[in-house]
Structure 1
Amino acid sequence: MTKRLSPYRLGATLYMPATRNDIAGSILNNQIDGLRSIVICLEDAVSDADVPAALQNLRQILVALKSAKDAGLGADWPLVFIRPRDPEMGKFLTETEDLTPADGLVLPKFTLESLPVWWDIMKDTHLCMMPTLETEDVFDVMQMRKLATALLEHPCHSRIIALRIGGNDLMNVISLRRPRNLTLYDSPMGYVIKMLVAVFGSRDFALTSPVCEHIDDHDVMEKELALDMAHGLVGKTAIHPNQIAKIERALMVTSADHADALRILNSSQAVFKSQGAMCEPATHRRWAARVLEQAQIYGIAQEETQDGVRFFTANHLN
């Protein structure tokens, strides 16, 4: 049985079209600072006409990574995922390519109906699964409850590192695009994210946040990241390297939360006051455990000042 990876190892998951010729070098040489996970995309990021070239390029990437791993390299590489176009392409990849260097597949347009199809493709591999929720039925809470229950009881459960929320595809379903000056939470996606957290989070599934496609508007990005963290999302899709550092910083645990988490998990008191807030171990214990796991990977944000300006640095736990 393949051991499920911690979803907190994903961080900022950078999507790169499989047609790019710099992917292997980016992974082999850790050329992108702070990158923890990468998705080599054969779906929306690749046009129909470019699919053959993308598949050929993917094969060359896999060969290069396999050769390096055979030489004992790869311990400090980002996690590598492949996003096939559809189940047919997923089947083709698992049957014809050596996917040893890959950690998993991102499953596009994932539904309850496609679950047995994808499992038949992946059950005999080592690959983890990251289903993407991005179809019309995602807006239906009853359908999502059925899917969550099915995944919880299915043998694939131990393979699912996280569920990805496909924001752009979901907005497309309702003929909308994210407003330029607002976060996703100010759109109908606010309801969707809250509902998915309630349905899947209550069953202990991790969820990742959709991409912020307005690459140069860092104010909107930071507001959205704060809301991502408030909703318990474990990572965020990135489409540009300049988004990675901001996502990493948002995933750092505050020193206040870390102190509360330690007290909650170690206290014999039923209720106590800490930093002006009530702490109740019986109801805050799961939150506290998550905080400590997150801090172990991303570190604790230390607030400092310089010339009157506030900024944060990471104090990593070892």
Structure 2
Amino acid sequence: MKILSPYALGATLYMPATRADLLDVVFRTKLPELRSLVVCLEDAVADIDIDTALSNLHVLLSAINDRGGRSGDGPLLFVRPRDSVMAAVLNDWPLIKHVDGFVVPKLTMRNLGSWEQAVTNPELFLMPTLETADVFNPVAMVELGQALRANLASRIIALRIGGNDLMGSLGLRRNPATTLYSTPMGYVIPMLAGVMGSQGFALTAPVFEQLATPNLLGEELDLDIAHGLVGKTAIHPSQISLIQEKLRVSLEDLNSAKLIVSDVAPAVFKHNDVMCEPATHYKWAIKILERAEWHGVRVPEAANGETTIRLAEAAQ
């Protein structure tokens, strides 16, 4: 089985399986900057349109097959089945080989066994979505994380945080003037970052559904990244470039990470007026280097427009 980095996801765009332009996105005729695409058969498709959506998905996969498969530089392609019953059917489609994996909606300990039985194709990666009331209980999340590690850890790219569903379970909706961190998600996201992150899982950030406030999206992305989240769901193509720009690594962090992982790094050293300790910062450095590999580096500019690079100061 191939290995997929969670940082390869970038901005993840969900598109209903009923859309007629899915093939254009898969082959980058549309949205060439997109890193990952989810063809949705769940919330984005009405009950009366399920058969149409499944037929359209089959047409998409047949067209990909007719072209000899997806191109290597196209977006990652995932399908979100409606439930484990639908997933079991899709799991056995021969053409599902053209999909990287499934997004698992509303995963809990109660339905985990059904999903394990449904998605038996070892080539399909999984991105479980945490979006039920159980998510507010850290004990339940510890239990779920342990169960996922036991049987599915090698197939899980990342866990997705379903912010809208979680807010909905409380009868709440985001205030358009604040980030999600000013809501009960300000408890949930740090808790999940700790509980699931400490078990080795990457997590992606909830969608930002306000299209008229890109500056606020930028603020929320800064908080997402500060909590170690590796990507973010995009509600609209206009958000893709901003999300992926924010995921770029600062030059200062890149230089610091390179020094920390160096075989000749001192036990403690100073870099740009910050103390670095490889014994405690090594995992952070590895993640920074992986993020930079996928998203690149932001080079700061001085007031005169020239790039500025600060040199490392290592204490011997």
Structure 1 and Structure 2 fold alike (TM over 0.5): yes
Matched, 1:302 2:275: no
Asked if 1 retains the 8 angstrom alpha-carbon contact of 2:91 and 2:121, the reply is no
Q: Tell me the CA shift for residue 142 of structure 1.
A: 0.2
Matched, 1:234 2:230: yes
Asked if 2 retains the 8 angstrom alpha-carbon contact of 1:59 and 1:97, the reply is no
Per the alignment, residue 188 of structure 2 pairs with 192
Q: Which moves more between the two structures, 205-214 or 45-54?
A: 45-54
Paired letter, 2:133: E
The separation in 1 between residues aligned to 2:271 and 2:139, in whole angstroms, is 39
Matched, 1:122 2:143: no
Percent pairwise identity: 49
Paired letter, 1:277: V
Matched, 1:27 2:29: no
The separation in 2 between residues aligned to 1:214 and 1:88, in whole angstroms, is 33
Per the alignment, residue 140 of structure 1 pairs with 137
Asked if 1 retains the 8 angstrom alpha-carbon contact of 2:180 and 2:186, the reply is yes
Which of these residues, 185, 194, 201, is aligned with residue 197 of structure 2?
A: 201
Which of these residues, 88, 92, 96, is aligned with residue 95 of structure 1?
A: 92
Q: Which moves more between the two structures, 119-128 or 299-308?
A: 299-308
Q: Tell me the CA shift for residue 34 of structure 1.
A: 1.4
- 1:147-191 deviation digits (Å, cap 9, x = unpaired): 11111222x110000000000000001000011011011110010
Distance of aligned partners of 1:30 and 1:203 in 2 relative to their CA distance in 1, 3 Å threshold: farther
Per the alignment, residue 315 of structure 1 pairs with none
Q: Tell me the CA shift for residue 124 of structure 1.
A: 2.9
Per the alignment, residue 217 of structure 1 pairs with 213
The separation in 2 between residues aligned to 1:187 and 1:170, in whole angstroms, is 11
The separation in 2 between residues aligned to 1:180 and 1:97, in whole angstroms, is 44
Matched, 1:18 2:17: yes
Per the alignment, residue 168 of structure 2 pairs with 172
Q: Tell me the CA shift for residue 47 of structure 1.
A: 1.0
The separation in 1 between residues aligned to 2:291 and 2:229, in whole angstroms, is 11
- 1:96-126 deviation digits (Å, cap 9, x = unpaired): 4620110000000001222221111222341
The separation in 2 between residues aligned to 1:257 and 1:146, in whole angstroms, is 34
Q: Tell me the CA shift for residue 94 of structure 1.
A: 1.8
Q: Tell me the CA shift for residue 56 of structure 1.
A: 1.1
- Structure 1: which 5+ runs fail to align? 311-318
Asked if 2 retains the 8 angstrom alpha-carbon contact of 1:4 and 1:160, the reply is no
Asked if 2 retains the 8 angstrom alpha-carbon contact of 1:162 and 1:205, the reply is yes
The separation in 1 between residues aligned to 2:60 and 2:117, in whole angstroms, is 25
Paired letter, 1:47: A
- Secondary structure of the structure 1 residue equivalent to 2:259: helix
After TM superposition, the score normalised by the length of structure 1 is 0.92
The separation in 1 between residues aligned to 2:163 and 2:113, in whole angstroms, is 24
Q: Tell me the CA shift for residue 55 of structure 1.
A: 1.0
- Secondary structure of the structure 2 residue equivalent to 1:16: strand
- 1:280-311 deviation digits (Å, cap 9, x = unpaired): 11100000011011111111101236888x9x
Distance of aligned partners of 1:4 and 1:160 in 2 relative to their CA distance in 1, 3 Å threshold: farther
Per the alignment, residue 85 of structure 1 pairs with 82
CA RMSD of the aligned region, Å?
1.7
Query: May I ask how many residue pairs the two structures share in their alignment?
Result: 306
Per the alignment, residue 265 of structure 1 pairs with 261
